[in-house]
Amino acid sequence: MAWFEEELPVTQPIKTGPKIGRNQSCPCGSGESFNNMLKYVKSWIIILLRK
């Protein structure tokens, strides 16, 4: 049996808390919906990476 044919152990995903819906308020306490907050954070990450 070659090294790439060995079976890897099956792992389970780590869940840290309840799933947040797109229209629920963001857990940071800003009052924005989670979907809007996620767009805001993504846009800032893109801006910072361009520098």
Q: Domain limits of the chain? A: 24-51
Cβ neighbours of residue 20 closer than 8 Å, sequence gap 6 or more: 26, 27, 34
> Mean pLDDT, the chain, as a whole number?
79
pLDDT value of position 1: 53
Nearest to 36 by CA among 23, 49, 27, 45: 23
Instruction: Give the span between the Cα atoms of 19 and 9, in whole angstroms.
Output: 26
Evaluate if residue 40 carries a pLDDT over 60.
yes
- Most confident of the following: 5-9, 12-16, 33-37, 44-48: 44-48
Arithmetic mean of pLDDT, 4-28: 77
